[in-house]
Amino acid sequence: MELSKKRIVVKVGTSTITNENGGIDIKNIDHLCRAIAGVENMGYDVVLVSSGAIAVGANKMRLAQKPKELRLKQAAAAVGQCELMHLYDKLFSEYGRMVGQILLNSDDVEIPERKENLKNTFDALLENHIIPIVNENDSVSHVEIESDKKLFSDNDMLSAIVAIFCGASKLIILSDIDGLYDANPTTNPDAKLISRVENIDDDLRKLAEGSGSNRGTGGMITKLDAAELATSRGIDVLITQGHRPENLYDIIDKKKIGTLFVGK
């Protein structure tokens, strides 16, 4: 499939849209929506893959901690997904943009008839400049939130699959780390950011082990898996800090931000 230079997928993790207390980081979500709307106004079509349903739901349900039991996680996802969409709809409306929700399970991207429907829906939304907001349908699936054989693993893999589906030329993964470092930056002050990766090999995977967020479910490894899949289809993947959503403008301007995994 031909890639569209104008189509971009942005993925945000739970750590970007919630704060240390588990509350919604309204300021950051606002900045994110504003930056995405700004990028859209420059002529791009953006798909937003957003995690955070479970954390936001648990907070709204006033649970003392993030739930461990599957049924409670799924209940929290049901509550949190509504809350998230309410916020996204409200904030994007303020910046003159329309949104649509797409919740997916692994079957939806594997069964040919569903794949076809999904692709058509993405195309119709994007052709009408509506921002699709995507998450796994956690309330009816446990693949994402529990299983060892995660297909979408913390939405990183989901974002790569969505980028392929939409024919996007760029996938931007916003996380709580500036990118991939040559050592663990939390324990090693001399760690240096790797700005460009042409090949994802075993040495790189070793570097990625152990890093990541405690509010989301994934780490750098799941991001490398997503980057490997997307770059193999020619898509450039960028991993950068989610607490500076304004970075999106610099990424569009091709400034050196985060870690770029070059599409093959």
For binding to ligand GLU (CB under 6 A), which residues are involved?
Answer: 13-14, 51-55, 77, 135-136, 138, 144-145, 154-155, 216-218
User: Which residue's CB is nearer to ligand GLU, number 23 or number 43?
Assistant: 23
User: Which residue's CB is nearer to ligand GLU, number 55 or number 220?
Assistant: 55
For the bound state, the minimum distance from the C-beta of residue 75 to ligand GLU, rounded and expressed in Å, comes to 12
The CA distance from 137 to 73, in Å, is: 12
For the bound state, the minimum distance from the C-beta of residue 84 to ligand GLU, rounded and expressed in Å, comes to 8
For the bound state, the minimum distance from the C-beta of residue 242 to ligand GLU, rounded and expressed in Å, comes to 12
Backbone torsions φ then ψ of 243, nearest 5 degrees: -90, 5
For the bound state, the minimum distance from the C-beta of residue 217 to ligand GLU, rounded and expressed in Å, comes to 3
The CA distance from 261 to 82, in Å, is: 33
List the strands of the sheet with 4-12, edge to edge: 98-104, 130-136, 45-50, 4-12, 168-175, 236-241, 259-261, 196-197
User: Which residue's CB is nearer to ligand GLU, number 13 or number 132?
Assistant: 13
| Cα radius of gyration rounded to whole Å, the chain | 17
Cβ–Cβ < 8 Å for 235, 170: yes
> What residue type is assigned to position 13 of the chain?
G
User: Which residue's CB is nearer to ligand GLU, number 54 or number 204?
Assistant: 54
User: Which residue's CB is nearer to ligand GLU, number 3 or number 174?
Assistant: 174
For the bound state, the minimum distance from the C-beta of residue 256 to ligand GLU, rounded and expressed in Å, comes to 27
Helix axes 70-94, 26-41, angle to 10 degrees: 50
